[in-house]
Structure 1
Amino acid sequence: MKYYDDLRSYIDALDDMGDIMHVTREVDGDFEPSAITRRSYEIQSPAPLFHKVAGTEPGFRLFGAPAGLSSRADMPYARVAMSLGLAPGSSGPAIVEALSAARLQPGIPPVRVDSAAAPCQQNILRGDDATLDRFPIPFAHDKDGGRYANTWGTLIVKPPDGKWVNWSIARVMKVDGKRMVGLIVPSQHIGQIWAEWVKTGEPMPYALVQGPAPAISCVSGIPIPAHADEADYIGTLAGAPVSVVRAVSISLDVPATAEIVIEGHVSITRDCQEGPYGEYGGYLGEGSSAQPTFHVETITHRDDPIWPMSVTGRPTDESHTLWAMGLAADALTYLREANLPVTTTWIPEDSTVHWLLVVVPQNWRELLPGVSSEELSQRIGEVLFKTDAMVFIPKVYVVDDDFDPTNLREVVWVLSTRVHPVGRRVVFDNQRVIRLPQCYDEAEYVAGLGAKVVFDTLQSKRHLHASFAQGYPEEIRQRVLDNW
């Protein structure tokens, strides 16, 4: 296992295993990089690294699909695993376990270094020179409201009292060279911090970091408890503190090895239209909303910087790999804290984060004597639907552990044969919903409330599978394999 403390060493490692596609011809600055990246997800090709983007300075590069599925069929989750410092062959459930386990360990706070030791400040742009127009920011999708300056970068903010620091990913659209507009959701941590600045009447300082250590991007996109610093959690994953440096113009620390850092302040009113944007559910966006303006004041960057991007849409992109694993780890942590027997939790990437599988062990009835499968499903729903992360997930399936939840073919087989047509489900009405899941009607979106469901698919008696593994004596199976 190896922790990559900057984006470049991670890209080199992917290149060594044949998982980088070098695009050396010039691509346009509008749609071509995104179209190539989107196709790379859909055919599971190596991640594209664009060396020449029209309209930007020589040496400025774009990097697509940083945590999509690997082109290596023998290690599909390698990009996520390597980003987090895990072995490239790690399974999905192993990654979920690692993310959950790190939440239970003491955090390792970051260490501040001098600016001379911070590659992110090799170049400092102020005033009119600090413009987004210098950088290769393409349109992600044809129907988007603008060029999205943040799809895989980390936003850093802290409340006025400075008691905690939040590192997160939120979509941010470029308005012009000096302005962006970002989606600030009140229930999310960045929204809670922004609301505190609104109360003071002062604009919120922010840093938008592009291309930090891959683990920083990953952890910025997954849920951890409020008032816990992502930097400390990343230190736990890495086994060493994250190196940070004081930003040039604001009182925030930023990752020292980042490619690009944009500094400025966020307005305290929703004064600019953001969207639409093609989201993780797999549909092009429609409509826009008023959101706060991110004013660009200072930009620092490494020599020949690399701007990473995630082009969300139909499976499978970073929303369906890293983010889904983070949500699954959040669910696993809360269920185990409630002393419920859970083997693992998993969100199949092809469900576009609309399904959560809760896998329970064969002996769960011994661990919970007298509890029926319906009662277990009820308890699971009561725990999960109180958590913030479950606002994204409308359907939970409680399943036995006699199949591989990461194998979509097996998932479809289990759900199609074990979900009752009308019964064996626990419905939770009036649950908090947001517009990102695609399954509710307009009245539910307006109210912010809708139904969620836990499907009880647990077998009262385990049935043997009509399969090679379970349908034949061991000596016959071995003879077949020996002579295959």
Structure 2
Amino acid sequence: MPLTDLRQYIEALRDLGEIREIDAPVSLDLELGAIIRRCIETGAPAPLFNTFSDHPGGFRILGAPGGISAQPGMELVRVAVALELPPTTGGLAIAEAIAASLDRLAIDPVVVDAAPVFENTVTGAAVDLTALPVPLLHYGDGGRYLNTFGCIVARTPDGSWTNWSIARMMVIDGKRLSGIVAPEQHLGMVAKAWADLGKPMPFALALGVEPAIPFICGMPLPAQVDEGGRLGALLGRAIRTVQCRTVDLEAPASAEILIEGHLHLDELVEEGPMGEFAGYIPLDTQMRRPTYRVSAISHRDNAILPVVAAGEPVEENHTAWGLPCSAQILYDLRKAGIPATTAWIPLQSALHWLVVTVPRDWRRRSGIGESGAFCRRIGQTVFASKAGAVIPKVIVLNDDVDPTDLKELVWAFATRCHPLLGHAVFDDIEAAPLLAYLRRSEKVAGHTGKIVYNCLAPDEWGEALPMRASFRHGYPAEIVDRVRRRWSEYGFS
């Protein structure tokens, strides 16, 4: 059943035991953020906050909208439900489903005449961002962040490319926001196209959209590709959009809150720091970043603001960003002739690891004879992609290893990675400045070193691999099946 707005998503999660309503008044200053962090770190249901001790009301907040669950066999239930997949769908199957959609024809959004988000609208002098329930999420954050899981809509001046993305936005005052607008990211490319004409960039920020939209906003699609059409291809239906009131853009019609205005690259204000996806609040002081000037605020009655408390894994940066990245990299590797079985960013690695698994006959399939050269080809493909910009470390393994199983992954990396042979080192390559360990000079330059760890068997072994001494791999299939069937007969639960 299609989930075409956030409220339908919440009810679907409620039926699965993944929503916890909180009626006790909660402070927007740190308390709310601390509750969300504890929910993230324990796998508790997503908290839905109904009242605040330091805000007059009329709004609600949904925390951890794309977090993981502690329910057995349903770790990624919120992601699966958001993408209209069965609730028990695992990470590799989710990535495969996204990757498979990339060869389908786009289904572009359709514009509808009206949307519930316009139940309440203010424009011009009446605009006041401080009327919204904007939390202070981390002790050490430089301000209050309104956008942590919303869809930013921007379009090139010639109308050829409409980009949907996620980027943090901090409230400066009642009429201004600020955040990272990286020139290498698509939002920065679109903004520069407007700046080159001497104009600010029109934008819309849609908060509380239908649940699949943040996952396409976090996907590293190539430039000039519209996220709205690609999401339509994934879901098999067109996303509904609606005309904004003060800018010439169409925003997702499912929005609970809609902010409109213009981004001024030449108006710099102090923004940050903020607890981010790597799991740290950076030592950096506030930095001067561009200004979003707001011309309209619209919202539904009793609107719901989704909030991500970024930080140590696993949170939405690692699911709504990491999972689509895994899918895009898998697609890119296969297009490049790499016979990848899986490409997986382990959720607990905070986007700092990518695991690529390949079959034992990878030489015949790829036409590359040596594992060192094969790993270098993988690195060249990954690090040249938009998704690979954030990933500094790639681990290449045979596909008898399940990369989503951390116990298997640690064992395989420890026992298969020769400390001296075959690693592909990239000395100076583009990198995301928010990687946790970068020196200041590397952050400024946007370049650092990266590596592909060669965990494949020595070339002299050919396609031979030692037998794994484990229950699943070390016994004939009929014995494994017999033991599983008789497990309770042996006296085990």
**Coarse TM-score class (shorter-chain normalised):** over 0.9
Cα displacement (A) at 1:221? 1.4
Between the aligned partners of 1:445 and 1:296, the Cα distance in structure 2 is: 30
Question: SS at 1:292's partner residue?
Answer: strand
Q: For 1:49 and 1:132, how far apart are their aligned partners in 2? A: 21
Match of 1:269 in 2: 266
State the Cα distance separating 1:62 from its structure 2 match. 0.3
Q: Work out whether residues 270 and 290 of structure 1, in 8 Å CA contact, stay in contact via their aligned partners in 2.
A: no
The one-letter code matched in structure 1 to 2:467 is: L
Cα distance change on mapping 1:371 and 1:210 into 2, 3 Å? same
Amino acid of the structure 2 residue aligned with 1:385: F
The one-letter code sitting in structure 1 at the alignment partner of 2:365 is L
Change (3 A) 1:9 1:177: same
Q: Could you say what secondary structure the match of 2:212 adopts?
A: helix
* Partners of 1:91 and 1:404 in 2: CA distance: 12
The aligned counterpart of 2:176 is: 179
The offset of 1:160, in angstroms, is 1.4
Task: Name the structure 2 match of 1:93.
Answer: 92
Matches of 2:256 and 2:324, distance apart in 1: 24
1:200 partner SS: coil
Q: How far did residue 443 of structure 1 move?
A: 3.1
CA distance in 2 between partners of 1:178 and 1:397 (Å): 46
- 1:43 aligns to what? 42
Equivalent pairs counted in the alignment come to 481
Letter of the 1:281 partner, please give it.
A
Deviations 1:412-460 (A, max 9, x none): 1111111112222011121112321123333333333221111111124
Q: Deviations over 1:382-422 (max 9, x none)?
A: 21111122111111111111121111111111111111122
- Give 1:70-109 correspondences, 5 Å limit: 70-109=69-108
1:421 is aligned with what amino acid? P
Q: Are 2:222 and 2:386, in contact at CA under 8 Å, matched by a contact in 1?
A: no
Aligned counterpart in structure 2 of residue 462 of structure 1, from 454, 459, 465: 465
SS at match of 1:269: strand
Q: 2-side partners of 1:51 and 1:177: how far apart?
A: 23
1:364 Cα offset (Å)? 1.7
State the Cα distance separating 1:474 from its structure 2 match. Answer: 4.7
For the 8 Å contact 1:360–1:400, the answer to whether it is kept is yes
Q: Distance in 2 between matches of 1:369 and 1:409?
A: 32
Mapped partners of 2:479, 2:358: distance in 1: 31
Is 1:244 the counterpart of 2:247? The answer is no
Q: CA deviation at 1:236?
A: 1.2
- 2:177 aligns to what SS in structure 1? strand
Aligned to 1:451: 449
2:178 aligned partner, one-letter code? V
Q: Per the alignment, in what secondary structure is the counterpart of residue 214 of structure 1?
A: coil
Is the 1:3–1:86 Cα contact (8 Å) retained in structure 2?
A: no
Deviation at 1:217, TM superposition (A): 1.5
Q: What residue in structure 2 maps to residue 345 of structure 1?
A: 343
Letter in 2 for 1:464: M
Partners in 1 of 2:365 and 2:243 — Cα distance? Answer: 51
Q: 1:155 — aligned with what?
A: 152
State the AA in 2 paired with 1:242. I
Partner of 1:110: 109
Q: Greater shift after overlay, 251-260 or 439-448?
A: 439-448
Counterpart Cα distance in 2 of 1:112 and 1:446:
41
Specify the code of the residue in structure 2 equivalent to 1:302.
R
Question: Deviation digits for residues 239-274 of structure 1, max 9, x if unmatched?
Answer: 111111100111000111210000111113141111
Aligned-partner SS, 2:196: helix
Distance 1:252 1:54 in 2: 36
SS of equivalent to 2:135: coil
1:392 to 361, 382, 390: 390
Which residue among 307, 317, 320 is the counterpart of 1:309?
307
The equivalences for 1:257-336 within 5 A come to: 257-286=254-283, 287-336=285-334
Query: Residue 206 of structure 2 aligns to a residue in which SS?
Result: strand
Amino acid at match of 2:434: L
Partner of 2:47: helix, strand, or coil?
strand
AA aligned to 1:376 is: F
Deviation digits for residues 257-305 of structure 1, max 9, x if unmatched?
2100001111131411111011111111232221111112111111110
2:24 maps to what in 1?
A: 25
Structure 2, unmatched stretches of 5+, are none
Shift of 1:124: 1.2
**2:7 partner amino acid:** R
Within the candidate set 107, 126, 131, 2:128 is matched to: 131
- Select which of 416, 419, 423 maps to 2:417: 419
1:356 counterpart (354, 374, 379): 354
- Could you tell me which amino acid in structure 2 is paired with residue 3 of structure 1? P
- Aligned: 1:11 with 2:14: no
Q: Contact 1:156 / 1:206 at 8 angstroms: preserved in 2? A: yes
Structure 2 letter corresponding to 1:161: D
8 Å contact from structure 2 (residues 149, 307) kept in 1: yes
TM-score normalised by L of structure 1: 0.96
The aligned counterpart of 2:55 is: 56
C-alpha separation between the residues in 2 aligned to 1:164 and 1:57? 40
Partner of 1:254: 251
Write out aligned runs for 1:220-235 (5 A).
220-235=217-232
Alignment of 1:371-390 (within 5 A): 371-390=369-388
Residue 478 of structure 1 deviates from its aligned partner by: 4.5
- Provide the alpha-carbon RMSD of the alignment: 1.5
Distance 1:298 1:441 in 2: 40
CA-CA distance at 1:333 after TM superposition: 1.3
Name the counterpart of 1:405.
Answer: 403
Deviation at 1:473, TM superposition (A): 4.6
What CA deviation, in whole Å up to 9, does each residue of 1:313-344 have, x standing for no partner? 00110111221111111211111111211101
2-structure distance, mates of 1:39, 1:84: 25
Distance (whole Å) between structure 2 residues aligned to residue 443 and residue 174 of structure 1? 28
- State how far apart, in whole Å, the 1-side matches of 2:219 and 2:139 are: 27
One-letter amino acid of the counterpart of residue 67, structure 2: G
Contact 2:343/2:354, CA 8 A, preserved across alignment: yes
Q: Is the CA contact 2:59–2:302 (under 8 Å) kept in the aligned structure 1?
A: yes
| C-alpha distance 94-475 of structure 1, shift in aligned 2 (>3 A) | closer
Q: Please identify, of 367-376 and 296-305, the stretch whose mean Cα deviation from structure 2 is larger.
A: 367-376
Provide the C-alpha distance between the structure 1 equivalents of 2:331 and 2:472, rounded to a whole number of angstroms.
32
Deviates more, 1:308-317 or 1:459-468: 459-468
